[in-house]
Structure 1
Amino acid sequence: MLKKTKGIVISYIKYRDTSIITRIFTRDLGLKSYVVNGIRSSKSKPKMALYQPLTLLELVVYDREGRSLHHISEAKLDYAFQRVPFDFHRSGIALFMGEVLGKCIYDDYQNEDLFDFLFQAVELLDKEQVSLGTYPISFLIQMTRYLGFDPEDAGNFYDQLPVNRGSLPHQAKESHLDRLIRERFISTELIPKHIRKALLEDVLLFYQLHLENFTEIKSLAVLRSLVE
């Protein structure tokens, strides 16, 4: 059955000689895997831009119950990036976000509120005024609201983590985290680099404690090099 929906590309892998399998979180159908045939051929390679992590798409897809792989009838950009693909800092954050989402969202999982939040967050990453230094931390913290384990405040957050974890005491980080929780993406606070690094590590540990399959983030090393 053909269905129209919006989608956020999570990732893709090469499939056979010229094809890919892409995982796309759709608003109406949840997380699905799609085979895109011939996309890596010399004639179709420009279309690969549609399947880079976090690309926002309008889709017409074939959806058949009980199948693990589906096909795309039509795909076009819902939002054309102005900065993300051309800014190594933003593209690095996008890679990190895509990997995180791949560990948070399981096949067929549907959550319209989460989708809408992610769509807006991706658009914001492309805006000139976004604070890139704190964006990854704000993104992770805000997404906990839609995954069901959001902390009330920094005190509640650190109550759930091991005592005295890391090189910095919790008290040195709580005021900064409280502002990020309270102000969401609009915070303009200048947080020292070593505290941003510690906060990011703490929030990733927080995810590991709440999500069973949240394993090591391979793109974290790239992200660290960008925020340092």
Structure 2
Amino acid sequence: MLIKTRGLVLSYLKYRESSIIVRVYTEQRGVQSYLVNGVRRAKPPGRIALFQPLTLLELVAYVPRQGGSLTRLAEFRCAEPFRSLPYEVHKSSVALFLSEVLSKAVREEEENLPLFRFLHDSILAFDEQDAGTENFALLFLLHLAGYLGFGISSGAALTDQVALAGPATGSGFSSGPATLRLREFEQYFDELLHAPATTSIPNGQVRRELLAVLIRYYQLHLEGLGEIKSLEILGQVLAG
């Protein structure tokens, strides 16, 4: 049996000499893993580019048998080509970071149309945005939390939980000065939630700290989320 669905690429692993196993958040079936043969061959060129982080695809996929978790794609093509996201260092770094978060945070293997529409529309808007993109990752994670069941109503609600729980390995901040700054961070989170166009976040270093606090908040609500390794890469880009 075949299904036709849209999907958003989360990640892929190399498989054998020329194939990959790709994880996709699909419109009809949530998170699915597919075996894609031959896309790493030199000819035809460029096919592996379709499986870069957050690429939007149209898929025709085989439905796995009962109890099976891996199946194949019969057809695939780019649904909506990006204008800037793969070509600008800042945007591609954000895409890498968000795809890692999504790969670990979004796990359901069933239809969730509101979540799919949020992901689809947010990524397309980010690709089209020419200015004011510096806070996109923060805004994305703040809103994604609502779709995952632990939405944030205020900066104090977020920072109180993080302060109470304390730091975690790989969270990106310590129990020293950064924790003392959580009260200052309340203001920034409130601005992002309620007046994002006029936020007073001063620089990339503060954005990096805010992202680390948000990741710690996610760790408190998602068992097994673990360390987000690409946060360090994004932090370097933000600080540059």
Q: Secondary structure at the match of 1:103?
A: helix
Any gaps of 5 or more consecutive residues in structure 1? none
Matched residue, 2:17: 17
Distance 2:55 2:98 in 1: 12
Q: Distance in 1 between matches of 2:131 and 2:151?
A: 23
Give 3-state SS (helix, strand or coil) of 2:128's partner. coil
TM-score, normalised by the number of residues in structure 1: 0.93
Q: Is the 8 A contact 1:33 1:68 kept in 2?
A: yes
Aligned to 1:187: 197
SS at structure 1 position matched to 2:21:
strand
Aligned counterparts of 1:60 and 1:188: Cα–Cα separation in 2: 43
For the 8 Å contact 1:50–1:77, the answer to whether it is kept is yes
> Are 2:99 and 1:98 equivalent residues in the alignment?
yes
- In 2, distance between residues paired with 1:153 and 1:132? 22
Cα offset, 1:128, TM superposition: 2.9
Residues 176-218 of structure 1 deviation map (CA, whole Å, 9 limit, x = unaligned): 11111124xx524341123322211110100000000111111
2:3 corresponding residue in structure 1? 3
Q: Higher mean Cα deviation, 61-70 or 81-90?
A: 61-70
Cα offset, 1:130, TM superposition: 4.8
Shift of 1:170: 2.3
* Shift in CA distance, 158/78, structure 1 to aligned 2, threshold 3 Å: same
Residue 88 of structure 1: how far off its partner (Å): 0.9
Pairwise mapping of residues 61-210 of structure 1 onto structure 2 (< 5 A)? 61-66=61-66, 67-106=68-107, 108-163=109-164, 165=175, 166-167=177-178, 168-183=180-195, 187-193=197-203, 194-210=205-221
Tell me which amino acid in the other structure corresponds to 1:60.
Answer: V
User: Once structures 1 and 2 are overlaid, which stretch shifts more, 128-137 or 17-26?
Assistant: 128-137
Q: Secondary structure at the match of 2:9?
A: strand
Q: Report the CA distance between 1:129 and its aligned residue.
A: 3.5
Q: Distance in 2 between matches of 1:187 and 1:70?
A: 44
1:100-156 deviations in whole A, cap 9, x for unaligned? 001012262432211110111111220233522211111111100100001211111
Query: Aligned residue for 2:172?
Result: none
Q: Share of identical aligned residues, percent?
A: 38
Rounded Cα–Cα distance in structure 1 between residues aligned with 2:80 and 2:9:
12
Does structure 1 conserve the Cα–Cα contact (< 8 Å) formed by 2:191 and 2:198?
A: no
Flag the 1:83–1:92 CA change in 2: closer, same or farther, 3 A: same
CA contact (8 A) 1:38 1:44 kept: no
1:219 equivalent to 2:215? Answer no
Equivalences, count: 226
For structure 2, list consecutive stretches of 5 or more residues without a partner in the other structure: 167-174
CA distance in 2, matches of 1:160, 1:120: 30
SS at match of 1:187: helix
TM-score, normalised via structure 2 length: 0.88
Matched residue of 2:147: which SS?
A: helix
What do you get for the CA RMSD once the two structures are aligned? 1.7
Q: 1:152 and 1:189, CA in 2 relative to 1: closer, same or farther beyond 3 A?
A: closer
Moved segments of 4+, more than 6 Å: none
Cα distance between partner residues in 1 of 2:82 and 2:56: 9
